[in-house]
Structure 1
Amino acid sequence: MASETSEIELVFTEDTQLTKCMRIRALSLQQKNSKPQDGEKILKANEYIYRLDFSKQKLKFLWWTVHLKTPGKVVITGTSQHWTPDLTNLMTRQLLDPSAIFWKKTEQTEVDCNEADAQEFGERLCELAKIRKVMYFVLTFADGVEPSNVKCSIRFKA
């Protein structure tokens, strides 16, 4: 009996609750005139937390699909963080390299990327998917791009 393989597309969805909690943490530090923990990642105004939910664990990376409605740039950085109910602070050492960087210039219709980094990052996601049902990402929007102007997904062969 031949095994079935199919493509699946996983869409990055903003985790508004987690983004909000991380912003509250930053605001709290600011109001108390405190410094973050050594190595703690504090979300900047142009950074948001997104997630991927893995419905299958054995995947082969195919490619990214990123649509930018306006010119600008989005940087997708994976985290090794396992979020817990107490919302453990995100530490910079938990950010994965390389990030996938996508951009669109004013005169372009297509989105560009650093293909080698995007490929390596996609393959790393397959490794992490073997042990995870959910993975979190920091998306950084720059040069005029905002979350409402971006759609990101990643395709795998299952």
Structure 2
Amino acid sequence: MAAEAGMLELPFIWDEQLTRCMRLRFQSLQQKNTKPQDGEKLLQPNEHVYRVDFIQQHNLSFLRWNIQLERAGKVMVTGTSQHWTPDLTHLMNRQLLDPVGIFWKKPGAKEVECNEADAQEFGERIAELAQIRKVMYFLFTFTDGLEPAQLKGSIIFKA
């Protein structure tokens, strides 16, 4: 896992099962013609749930993001404050954290770009949250035709 001594690289894992479960909640509400709970976040077709498993929780300091996109497009990464259960089916908007990490790749570009300040603050917040969590969930919003199969991502900490 570690690229260099003292570094810890934790991958974002696409949680297909949880993503499917949250989509079923959306479909169920539509079929029954009922409204979601007040403030409930319903998963849109371009949103997917990812998680990071913290194999180490203490003394982590954020170093950098490692986001690779196979093609041009944009992905927004939003952390959630949901931390005790893998069931995000009833995810509330107030459980979505600020700031979000926004990563994009322009057509013909080799490198992925991001809003440095927000990405830095978001990474530091994740390092803090890692102290009290074994797992953290994220909402990835893909745009410009980008899909989960075209993304490889991890977050790198100094341990």
| TM-score band, normalised by shorter chain | over 0.9
Aligned residue number for residue 121 of structure 2: 120
Q: State the 1:76 CA deviation.
A: 0.5
Q: State the 1:87 CA deviation.
A: 5.0
CA–CA separation in structure 1 for the residues paired with 2:130 and 2:12: 14
State the TM-score, normalizing by the size of structure 2: 0.93
Aligned residue number for residue 138 of structure 1: 139
**2:50 is aligned with 1:43:** no
Aligned residue number for residue 99 of structure 1: 100
Instruction: Note closer, same or farther for the CA distance 1:25–1:39 as it changes in structure 2 (3 Å cut).
Output: same
Q: State the 1:6 CA deviation.
A: 0.9
Q: How does 1:8-157 map to 2 (within 5 A)?
A: 8-58=8-58, 59-84=60-85, 89-157=90-158
Aligned pair count? 154
Partner of 1:63: helix, strand, or coil? strand
State the TM-score, normalizing by the size of structure 1: 0.94
Letter in structure 2 aligned against 1:47:
E
Gaps of 5+ in 2: none
Contact 2:48 / 2:141 at 8 angstroms: preserved in 1?
A: yes
CA–CA separation in structure 2 for the residues paired with 1:86 and 1:123: 25
Letter in structure 2 aligned against 1:76:
V
Letter in structure 1 aligned against 2:12:
F
Letter in structure 2 aligned against 1:106:
P
Partner deviation per Cα, 1:65-95 (whole Å, 9 max, x = no partner):
0101110000000000125366551000000
CA–CA separation in structure 2 for the residues paired with 1:87 and 1:151: 23
Over the aligned positions, Cα root-mean-square deviation in angstroms equals: 1.3
Gaps of 5+ in 1: none
Partner of 2:120: helix, strand, or coil? helix
Contact 1:103 / 1:111 at 8 angstroms: preserved in 2?
A: yes
